Amino acid sequence: MNAAPPFDKIALIGFGLIGGSIARAARVQGLAKQIVATAHSAKTRARVSELGIVDAVVETNAEAVADADLVILCIPVGACGPVAQEIAGHLKPGAIVSDVGSVKGAVVRDMALHLPRAAHFVPAHPVAGTEHSGPDSGFAELFINRWCILTPPEGTDPDAVEKLRGFWAALGARVEIMTPDHHDLVLAITSHLPHLIAYTIVGTADELEGVTQSEVLKFSAGGFRDFTRIAASDPIMWRDVFLTNKDAVLEMLGTFNEDLSKLTRAIRRGDGEALFEHFARTRAIRRGIVEIGQDSAAPDFGRPHAQLGKKAE
Ligand code: NAP
C-alpha cells in the first residue's frame, strides 16, 4: 500500500519554469492530495488549466493559500515581499511557507516582515534551471541531482525544516542548509556573476562595429554560443537578482575586475607562463565539477554532432 502524501494541499503561487517543474515532479511523486496553483496573468492561469497538471487553478493568491499546508512562492524575487503581505492573513495556522528565489537575504527580509508567527517560514532556492520560462517550460526531472539550499531563519521549527527537506529530496534534489548571507555570496560567484558576464559579452558583440551581425551568429560556436544561452535567461528574474543581491555581486565583481586586470596585463606583456598557469588551474575546476556529477563529461556539453555521411540527431 502506498504511504499517504506528506501534504494535504500544496499551493503554488507562480507557474513558470520552477513552479511548473515543482507541480509536475510533486505530482509524479504523489506528494500532495491536492495541488492548487495561481499566476499573475489570466493568460498563464488559463494555460495552467489547459495543461491539467494541477488539481485546481484559482484567480487570487489568497484563494490559493487557503487551507494549504505548504505554500511555495515561485515568482520573481522582487514580488515576494508584496505577495507575502497579501497572503499573510489567509494562511492556515501551522502552514509551511517557502519560496524558490535565487536571492535569499533580501527575500527573507521582505517576506519575514509580513508572515504571521503561526506560519513556518522556510526559504529555499533550488539551484537548477534553464534559460526558458513560462508554464510550458517546466519538467518533472529538473531538480534531480541538483542542490536545493534552505535558509531557515533562526528559531524556525526543526520539524518544518525537515518536512521541506523531505519534500525537495522527493523531487530528486540534494538539500543543504546555510544562512541567507552565505547563500548570496556563494551564488554571486557561481551564478549571478556568470550571468552578468554573459549579458555583457552578448551585448558587446551585438554593438561591435566592424563585425557584422551575421558573422557573430555564423561563428557563434566558438564559445559565444554558450554565453548566448545564459544571456537568453528571463530579463525580469535577472533584473531582480541584481537589484536584490547588489552587495554580494559588487563584492565579487571587484575581485573579478582585479583578476581580469591581471590577465589583461599578462596578455599585454606576452606573459605565456602566467596565462598557462591560470588556464591550467581553471581546467582542473571543470574536471572537478564533472567528477562530482554536476555536469556531463561529454564534449561540447553532450550536444549531438553531425557525422560525415550522417545527419546529426
Ligand atoms: P517564470 O518562468 O518567468 O515564471 C514566473 C511566474 O511568476 C509566472 O507564472 C508569473 O505569472 C508569476 N508571477 C510574477 N509575478 C507574480 C505575482 N506578483 N503574483 C503571482 N504570480 C506572479 O520564472 P521562473 O524561472 O520559474 O522563476 C521563478 C523564481 O524562481 C524566481 O524567483 C527565480 O529567481 C527563481 N529561480 C529561477 C531559476 C531559473 O533558472 N529560471 C532557477 C532557480 C530559481 P505570469 O506568467 O502570469 O506573469
Delimit the domains of the chain by residue range: 7-178, 182-295
Confirm or reject: Cβ of 100 under 6 Å from ligand 1: yes
Distance 153 CA to ligand 1 centre (A): 23
Joined together, the cell numbers standing for residue 10 give 500544496
Of 157, 15, 161, the C-alpha closest to 75 is 15
Nearest in space to 192 (alpha carbons), one of 245, 270, 129, 257: 245
- Taking CA atoms only, the protein residue closest to ligand 1 atom 42 is 129
Going by C-alpha positions, the residue among 76, 69, 55, 61 that lies closest to residue 13 is 61
In terms of DSSP H, where are the helices of 139-245? 158-170, 180-187, 193-207, 213-218, 224-231, 235-244
- Tens of pLDDT, residue by residue over 151-201, are 999 999 999 999 999 999 999 999 999 999 999 999 999 999 999 999 999
- Read off the pLDDT of residues 261-279 as tens digits, 9 standing for 90 and up: 999 999 999 999 999 999 9
Using the structure block, give the residue that is written with the C-alpha cell 485546481: 56
Q: SS3 for 188-200, per residue?
A: HHHHHHHHHHHHH
Mutate to test the pocket of ligand 1, among 12, 75, 186, 239 (most ligand atoms within 8 A of CB): 75
Does the beta carbon of 122 sit less than 6 angstroms from any atom of ligand 1?
A: no
Separation CA 138–CA 198 (nearest Å): 23
| DSSP state for residue 310 in the 8-state scheme | B
φ, ψ of residue 247 in degrees (nearest 5): -65, -50
Question: 7-35 pLDDT, tens per residue?
Answer: 999 999 999 999 999 999 999 999 999 99
- % residues pLDDT > 90 (the chain): 81
- For 182-295, the fitting CATH number among 1.10.10.10, 1.10.3660.10, 3.40.630.30, 1.10.10.60 is 1.10.3660.10
What is the average pLDDT score of the chain?
A: 93
- Reported as a single tens digit per residue, the pLDDT across 215-240 is 877 777 778 888 999 999 999 999 99
pLDDT digits (tens, 9 = 90+) for 135-164: 999 999 999 999 999 999 999 999 999 999
Q: What predicted TM-score, i.e. pTM, was given to this entire model?
A: 0.92
Q: Are the beta carbons of 46 and 19 closer than 8 angstroms?
A: no
In which element (H, E) is residue 127 found? strand 124-127
- CB of 146 sitting under 6 A from ligand 1: no
pLDDT band at 1 (very low <50, low <70, confident <90, very high): very low
Fold match, 7-178 / 182-295: no
Cα-based distances in Å from 78 to 113, 128, 139, 254: 14, 19, 24, 25
Please tell me the CATH code under which domain 7-178 is placed. 3.40.50.720
Determine the distance separating the centroid of ligand 1 and the alpha carbon of 211, expressed in angstroms. Answer: 36
Cell numbers linked to 40:
499573475
